[in-house]
Amino acid sequence: MIRKSTNLFGNMEGVQISRAFELNVSAPLRIMNIIATLFKDKPIRIANISSGAATKAYQGWSVYCSSKAALKMASEVMGKEMESAKRDVKVISYSPGPIDTPMQVEIRKKRAEDFPDVARFISLHSEGGLISAEA
């Protein structure tokens, strides 16, 4: 899914954008809303998986960066709303750092013309800067 979102403006397809936002924004927000509705009188702890891309712009990664930023903001908004409602709800947006995942493998296969920051991700891998997904 994410590998298809690694494109520059002018080269993306609408379906790529929609799928990434469904996965990274719409689905988590629906789940958060259901949890808040079903467990009104219970303590709730929600941890959404974010990315450094939520706060740093990468050329060729506009869909991923913006969808992760949207989830980060939605997490913050839900936290504020629950606090205002005096509910025992804590929401975090956790960015674990660069994880060695299939997404990283796909990123490193990109051409610099399609993903100008590819060299950074190749270096992260070759220099041992990725965290094991099993850790």
Q: What is the pLDDT of residue 11?
A: 83
Residue of 58, 64, 115, 121 marked active site: 64
Q: Is 64 a catalytic residue?
A: yes
Which has the closest alpha carbon to 16: 72, 24, 134? 24
pLDDT recorded at residue 1: 40
Mean pLDDT (whole number) for 105-133: 89
Confidence of residue 89 (pLDDT cuts 50, 70, 90): very high
- Which whole number is the average pLDDT over 18-46? 97
Mean pLDDT, the chain, integer: 91
CATH: 1.10.530.10, 3.40.50.2300, 3.40.50.720, 3.20.20.150. Which one for 2-94? 3.40.50.720
Angle at 51 between CA 67 and CA 11, to 5 degrees: 45
Model confidence at 5: pLDDT above 50:
no
Give the pLDDT mean for 86-104.
93
Question: What average pLDDT does range 45-54 have in this prediction?
Answer: 96
Domain parsing of the chain, residue ranges: 2-94
DSSP type of residue 8:
-
